[in-house]
Amino acid sequence: MSEQPPEGTRSIINGRLRVQYGGFWIKVYDPPEDTLAAKKKLIEALTRRLFNHVEHGINIPGKRLDEARAAYENETNPELKRIKGGMLAGALFNRAADIFTKLVDLQAMGVDIEQDNPLMRQCGGCLQKALELGKLVNHLSGEEGIDELWGEPFRAFSIPIDAFYESRYIKIAQTMRDIDRLAHTLVETFADNPAFKHIGPLILLYADAARAKCETLRTDPGIFNIWPAFVVAGEKLSRFSPTLPARASRAQLRMAEEGLEVLCGGTDLVTYITRARVPMPLSTKQFIDRCNSYRERWSSRDCNPEAVRVA
């Protein structure tokens, strides 16, 4: 068995430059020139991505930063304070984007902008504070927050763009790892369950499509094949129907219903981390525990899978 190449190794595979992290060969994209204008576009894209994946109502304009801060600082109810903290984080993000936009405009007019410029420091401070408050914000599913999404704009601001791109490949590899963990867990969960006899290949097909989607930028021409394949693979899972005997017992019906709920939950979680392109470790652990619990109960005396026969 050949040894794994060092992390960060690049190689042409099937005519495409790829980089190896965590055992995955990930598509490499050329980073833009490291300028303020390029960083502005990158931070804007990362900010839009953030707001697309977190709970609603926190995309507060930067011009309302003082209002958002006052609302957060004056709130005493812990539940309300969490939401207002997310709104303040959103306002801080947008204030940083406002500052960066003006700095780029000044640079376009020939004004030199140094890294120690007071507005640059203020921009970095806004992103740093937003990162701290971002821990209060949940994913749009209502489950855990995704710290990585809050940290990426600050990282893009703080380090060269090529270094930022490299850090993204590492996160994509970690995301692919969790996609595979979830897929293999689902396959094992239903492996001995005759009602879900043919689900395994559909799960693995969805995982393959998810990894391809995870590594592909929207600007890549291949997205017109990769995104549809991902959607269709998910639709096939959503249409799956367990095979039960004509006179299924109440226990068999309940286990089939719960199995579909588990399958739906796993499909949703793979979708969330694929689209966000970062891991969701807490949700992944909780889902694996849920699968283990389901499998143990299905294998119990009252719900023995041997009792299920194909109609």
Span 36-45, pLDDT tens digits = 888 888 888 8
185/210 same-domain check: yes
Residues 6+ apart with CB under 8 A from 24: 172, 173, 176, 177, 211
Looking at the structure, do residues 229 and 265 belong to the same domain, yes or no?
A: yes
- Asked, for residue 164, whether it belongs to a domain, the answer is no
Q: Are residues 133 and 239 in the same domain?
A: no
Label each residue of 82-104 as H, E or C.
HHHHHHHHHHHHHHHHHHHHHHH
Query: What pLDDT score does 109 carry?
Result: 82
Both structure tokens of 30? 């050329």
In tens, the pLDDT along 115-173 reads 778 888 898 899 889 888 988 888 887 776 677 778 788 788 888 999 999 999 999 99
Shared-domain flag, residues 135 and 209: no
14 assigned to some structural domain:
no
Residue 49, H or E segment: helix 36-53
Q: Is 271 part of any domain?
A: yes
Q: Are 205 and 236 in contact (CB under 8 A)?
A: yes
302: which DSSP letter? G
| Burial class (CB within 10 angstroms; exposed 0-12, middle 13-18, buried 19+) of 152 | buried
Are 47 and 154 in a shared domain? Answer: yes
Residues 151 and 199 in one domain: no
Residue 237: the pLDDT is 94
Residue 139 resides in a domain = yes
- Does residue 90 share a domain with residue 117? yes
**In a shared domain, residues 189 and 239:** yes
Q: Which of 103, 134, 158 is the last residue of a domain?
A: 158
106/187 same-domain check:
no
Q: Is 148 within a domain?
A: yes
Q: What is the pLDDT of residue 144?
A: 67
Question: Would you give per-residue pLDDT tens digits along the chain (311 residues)?
Answer: 467 889 999 999 999 999 999 999 999 999 999 888 888 888 888 888 888 888 889 999 999 999 999 999 999 999 999 999 999 999 998 998 888 888 878 877 887 777 778 888 898 899 889 888 988 888 887 776 677 778 788 788 888 999 999 999 999 999 999 999 999 999 999 998 889 988 999 999 999 999 999 999 999 999 999 999 999 999 999 999 999 888 888 888 999 999 999 999 999 999 999 999 989 888 999 999 999 999 988 775 444 544 444 33
Cα gap 94→77, rounded to integer Å: 25
The domain tally of the chain equals 2
27, β-bridge pairs: 18
- Tell me, what's the pLDDT at 305? 44
User: What Rg do the C-alpha atoms of the chain give, in angstroms?
Assistant: 23
Q: Are residues 129 and 181 in the same domain?
A: no
Query: First-to-last CA distance in the chain?
Result: 45
Nearest CA to 92 among 72, 114, 64? 64
In a domain, 23, yes or no: no
Enclosing domain of residue 226 = 174-307
Residue 107, in any domain of the structure: yes
Instruction: Specify the pLDDT at position 3.
Output: 77
* 182 lies in the same domain as 295: yes
pLDDT the model gives residue 52: 86
Residue 18 lies in a domain: no
Instruction: Tell me, yes or no, whether 181 and 263 share the same domain.
Output: yes
